[in-house]
Every structure is written in structure tokens, then in C-alpha cells.
Structure 1
Amino acid sequence: MRTAKDRLRHTILFELLGLVTVTPLAALILNKDMGRIGALAVAISLLAMATNYVFNLAFDHALVRMGRPVNVRPPWMRALHAVLFEATLMLITLPIVAWWLNMSLWQALATDVGFALFYLAYAYVYNWAYDRVFPMPSAVRIKAADR
């Protein structure tokens, strides 16, 4: 499995690249002030980083419990991983988006779905590229206590 330091690097790079991409895009699409969208994006980014760390750790542990190697992730598994993460994050951020942008929950849901779709594609490409640049060890060692 990845080390805590590697997971932290993964999360920070993901969020920084995401913020640089999505903030101007959201301000343009929603016709909102860049500062307001930027503040919301940073808040959601911080929530996403914490959620990402816990979610990815749980996902890797689930793979180990199922007897699957954590360093082999076919496209269907990457897609499942991205969809589950975005659904989890959306449940957390929906009330925040509605409140901060003064929207109904339905409007916030539509907004969240649009950007979740963006992040689904982004997460898939980012994680594929990250695994190429920073590959996981080929052998996973499982402690006897973890079995």
C-alpha cells in the first residue's frame, strides 16, 4: 500500500490542480464572483482532502481484505472508485453549496452533479497519471495481524 507521505502528496496535488481548473470554470458557469467561488472551492477542497485520505485508505484495505492486489487497478475499478468517492463527497458538500451560494437544495444538487461529473473524469485521469509517475510497490506485504 501507499505510505502516509505518498497519500498526502497524492491528495494535495489532486486538490491544487483541481482548484486551478474548477474555480474559474465554476465562476463562469454559475455567473458568480470568483472570490466567492474560490472561497467555497477552498472549503470544499479541504473537506475533500480529509475525505480523500480516509476514503482511499478504506478502499485499499477493502481490496486487501478481498485478496486483491492494491497495485492492480483495471479501468472498471478506477471508475467505481471515482464514482463512490464523488457520491460520498457530494453528500458532505451539498448543504454547504446550498448555503454558501444561497441556492435551494435542488439547485445545489444540480450544481454539485455538474461538478461531480467534471471531477469524475478528472479523478480517473489524475489517478491513472499519478500511478504512472509515482508507482506503487509491486508486492504488497500483509502483516500476519492484518489477515
Structure 2
Amino acid sequence: MTLSPLKRRLVYVTVFEIIAIISSTYILMMLSGSDAAESLPAAVMVSLAAVIWNFLYNTAFEAWERRKQVTKRTLLIRSVHAFVFEGGLVLICLPIYMIWYDVGLIKAFMLEAALLLFFLVYTFVFTLGFDKIFTLPHHYKTASAP
């Protein structure tokens, strides 16, 4: 199934975040010893923070690329992009966990580390599946063909 770029992004983020919230709720329940009524709002807050951070960070990153006239995203650029994004997200999420669960920095970091590991695998698997179901528009395929 092929979608326009905007619809593809909207479907991607919506489905991704719904599954992410459900999964995060369960993981937070297991790690914090809380129930769904306590962990679901935390998962929603973190999901919302991640979506907002993703939008702001990538907007700033792409503006930096334009200013620096970057024409190719090298492995180094992509690696720095990923590490800075994740580092920023950790800094955003730690206070959420500390306040919501009334825990210290170490426990909040353990919650975030577990979710970070989950999301590394989940994002990869989800994106592979998404790309199989929602193929790129035809003009993308022909534009990159040798």
C-alpha cells in the first residue's frame, strides 16, 4: 500500500506511538511495581515528550544542515544525530520518572535505560514492518534507481 509522504508520516507516528504507549505502560508497570492506572499516564507523558522533542530536534537539525550546506548524511552525522537525540530525550524523561514515580535519579535512569533498550529493538522491527506494508511512493523508487 502506498501513501502520500504526509499520510505516511501521520500513519507511522500514530501507529508507532499507540504501540509504544501500550508497551511502555507494561514495561513501566513491571519495573516500577505500579499498576496500569499509574504507568499509563507516565507512558503517555513520555510519548508526548518524545514526539515533541523529535519534531523540535529534527527541525533544528535540518536547519543546521541547511546553514552548513550539508548535502549528504554521513555515518558520522547520522551517529551524532542519534546520540544527541537520545541524550536529549533521556534528559527530558528522567525528571518525568522522578516526579511521577517519586524515585531518585538512579531508579529513574534504570527505567529510562530499560525503555531505551526496548525502543532500539522496537523502532527497528516496527520500521521494517511498516516499510513492508506501506511502500514508498513510486517516484521515490525510480529517483533512487541506478
Same fold (TM over 0.5): yes
Q: Which residue of 2 aligns with 1:46?
A: 48
- Partners of 1:97 and 1:108 within 8 A in 2: yes
Structure 1, unmatched stretches of 5+, are 141-147
Q: Which residue of 2 aligns with 1:68?
A: 72
Q: Which residue of 2 aligns with 1:95?
A: 95
Structure 2, unmatched stretches of 5+, are none
Q: SS at the partner of 2:22? A: helix
Q: Which residue of 1 aligns with 2:13?
A: 11
**Larger RCO (CA under 8 A, 6+ residues apart):** 2
TM-score (norm 2): 0.71
- Partners of 1:90 and 1:112 within 8 A in 2: yes
Q: CA deviation at 1:42?
A: 0.8
Q: CA deviation at 1:58?
A: 5.3
CA RMSD of aligned residues (A): 3.2
2:136 equivalent to 1:135: yes
Q: SS at the partner of 1:68? A: coil
Q: CA deviation at 1:95?
A: 0.7
Once the two structures are overlaid, the 10-residue window that deviates more, 58-67 or 109-118, is 58-67
Distance 1:112 1:15, change over 3 A: same
Aligned residues: 134
Q: CA deviation at 1:62?
A: 6.8
Q: CA deviation at 1:34?
A: 1.3
**After superposition, what is the alpha-carbon deviation per residue over 1:33-85, rounded to whole angstroms, capped at 9, x for unaligned?**
2111001101111111222334455566777853238xxx99xx5x7765543
The structure with the greater share of residues assigned to helix is 2
One-letter code of the match for 2:104? S
Rounded Cα–Cα distance in structure 2 between residues aligned with 1:118 and 1:93: 15
Q: Which residue of 2 aligns with 1:36?
A: 38
TM-score (norm 1): 0.70
Once the two structures are overlaid, the 10-residue window that deviates more, 102-111 or 59-68, is 59-68
**After superposition, what is the alpha-carbon deviation per residue over 1:103-144, rounded to whole angstroms, capped at 9, x for unaligned?**
11222112111111111111122223333334262338xxxx
Rounded Cα–Cα distance in structure 2 between residues aligned with 1:99 and 1:53: 24
Rounded Cα–Cα distance in structure 2 between residues aligned with 1:100 and 1:34: 13
Q: Percent identity?
A: 27
Distance 1:127 1:85, change over 3 A: farther
Rounded Cα–Cα distance in structure 2 between residues aligned with 1:81 and 1:131: 22
